[in-house]
Each structure stands twice: as structure tokens, then as C-alpha cells.
């Protein structure tokens, strides 16, 4: 019996340029600064290396969040496959809700995965991120049946999206967010930039398999 299977390669963006960034005299809130963050020189190299993977040389549809580091990662896939890059802000990272990253509580990241609804006043909870990520993904799947799709997004956003099908939980010992599918550990929470997953969906948009693809 023949059935439709849609393949989605979803990846965290490549390595951002942060380590050597000095004084930043621009009157912007943290969210805007975060969205404009560039890739580092190594980040550009890793993004191109990922785009050369055999799986990603067969991509037919490409989406990215609106963050510069995500689009800069996606551009290599677009050029290698000669396809357009679609941008959807619903694929963006979780909003902190602060004017400066230093304002975040020391346990903010852990608390968001202990309580899916935890957020700061102007920020987003993991549940809210999950809702918009899965709304975007559902539309992408409906419009691209039986295609090979690539999506460039962000670590927390991908974890939030996957909790619809996976057991996503904080390891209290390591403080890393682990991802289990069908009671099997598929990701230990040690995020790299980039970090690539292969997802297979049936024609009802149900996740039937997930694999973490290592390449560097």
C-alpha cells in the first residue's frame, strides 16, 4: 500500500558571531539585537558544510525564521538547490521579554522547561512557542505533501515544537533538555550550531520517525 511521506530536515542556525563582539552602542532592545546577530566566520563555514550533506542536496522547499543568523544559514541550502528561501517569523526563537539579557533570572532557562507556561511579562512561554511553531509547520506540511523540506530555526523553538510528539524534559542533573521519541533518547540536549534533525511525517502530519544527524 502506497502512502505519502513528507520529510522535514529541521536545523538550528549555525554559529553566531558573539565571542568577539565588543561594545554595542545602539539604542535597541535585546530582542532586536538578538534577531540581527550575524554568523561568525566559523558559522559561515559550518553552514556551508551542512548544505553539502547528501540529504540537503535534495531539498525542494526551504523555510527559515526571520533572524539573520537563521537566514544566513539557510542561504547555502537555497543556493545549492537553486530554490527560493521562504521566511516565516513563527519559526523564530522564544522571546525573552527583557531589554537586556542580563535581566534574565539565573534559572530562567531551566524554569521554562520545568513549567511550560512560565514566562516573563513581555516574553513567551514554551507552550506559546510550541503553538506558533506547530501552526507554521502544519501549514508547511499541508502545502508540500510528499516533498523534502528544510527548515532553519532555533534550539528552544525546535524543542518546543517537538514536544507535540516527543517527551521533552529537563535533565535536572545536567540541566540539559533531552528529547525522547517512543521512549528512546534521540537527543541529549547538547545543542551545537548547527544541529540537524530528520523528521518523517505521514499524510496526517503525524511524526513517524526522528533522527539527529551528526556531521561535524
CB 73 within 8 A of CB 11: yes
Q: Write down the pLDDT at residue 98.
A: 86
Q: Write down the pLDDT at residue 101.
A: 80
Q: Residue 20 and residue 197: Cα distance in Å, rounded?
A: 29
Burial of 191 (0-12, 13-18, 19+ CB in 10 A): middle
Strand partners, 39: 16
For residues 165-185, one letter each, b for 16 or more C-beta atoms within 10 angstroms of the residue's C-beta and e for the rest, the string is bbebbbeeeeebbbbebeeee
Strand partners, 148: 7
Q: Write down the pLDDT at residue 1.
A: 47
Could you say which DSSP state residue 204 is in?
T
Q: Residue 78 and residue 27: Cα distance in Å, rounded?
A: 33
CB 119 within 8 A of CB 131: no
CB 35 within 8 A of CB 214: no
Question: How would you write the pLDDT of the chain (216 residues) with one tens digit per residue?
Answer: 456 689 999 999 999 986 555 555 555 556 777 788 899 999 999 999 999 999 999 999 999 999 999 999 999 999 999 999 999 999 999 999 888 788 899 999 999 999 999 999 999 999 999 999 999 999 999 999 999 999 999 999 999 999 999 999 999 999 999 999 999 999 999 999 999 999 999 989 999 999 999 876
**Which 3-state string (H, E, C) describes 57-120?**
HHCCEEEECCCHHHHHHHHHHHHHHCCCEEECHHHCCCCCCCCCHHHCCCCHHHHHHHCCCCCC
Q: Residue 133 and residue 177: Cα distance in Å, rounded?
A: 18
Q: Residue 56 and residue 45: Cα distance in Å, rounded?
A: 16
Domain 6-19+40-213 grouped into CATH 3.40.50.1240: yes
Does the CA dihedral 214-53-15-37 come out positive or negative? negative
Q: Is the pTM here over 0.85, yes or no? A: yes
Q: 149 phi and psi, to 5 degrees?
A: -120, 140
> Could you give the C-alpha distances from 64 to 12, 70, 113, 127, in angstroms and in order?
10, 6, 24, 20
Amino acid at each position: 500500500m502506497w502512502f505519502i511521506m513528507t520529510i522535514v530536515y529541521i536545523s538550528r542556525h549555525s554559529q553566531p558571531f558573539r565571542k568577539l563582539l565588543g561594545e554595542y552602542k545602539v539604542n535597541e532592545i535585546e530582542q532586536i539585537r538578538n534577531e540581527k546577530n550575524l554568523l561568525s566566520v566559523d558559522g559561515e563555514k559550518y553552514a556551508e558544510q551542512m548544505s553539502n550533506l547528501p540529504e540537503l542536496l535534495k531539498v525542494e522547499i526551504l523555510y527559515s525564521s526571520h533572524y539573520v543568523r537563521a537566514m544566513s544559514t539557510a542561504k547555502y541550502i537555497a543556493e545549492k538547490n537553486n530554490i527560493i528561501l521562504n521566511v516565516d517569523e513563527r519559526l523564530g526563537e522564544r522571546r525573552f521579554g527583557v531589554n537586556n539579557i542580563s535581566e534574565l533570572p539565573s534559572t530562567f532557562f531551566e524554569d521554562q522547561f520545568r513549567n511550560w507556561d512560565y514566562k516573563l511579562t513581555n516574553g513567551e512561554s514554551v507552550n506559546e512557542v510550541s503553538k506558533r511553531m506547530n501552526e507554521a509547520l502544519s501549514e508547511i506540511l499541508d502545502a508540500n505533501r510528499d516533498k523534502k523540506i528544510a527548515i532553519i530555526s532555533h534550539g528552544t523553538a525546535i524543542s518546543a515544537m517537538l514536544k507535540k510528539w516527543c517527551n521533552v524534559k529537563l535533565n535536572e542533573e545536567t540541566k540539559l533538555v533531552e528529547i525522547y521519541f517512543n521512549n528512546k533518547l534521540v537527543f541529549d540536549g547538547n545543542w551545537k550550531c548547527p544541529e540537524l534533525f530528520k523528521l518523517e511525517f505521514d499524510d496526517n502530519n503525524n511524526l513517524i520517525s526522528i533522527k539527529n544527524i551528526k556531521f561535524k
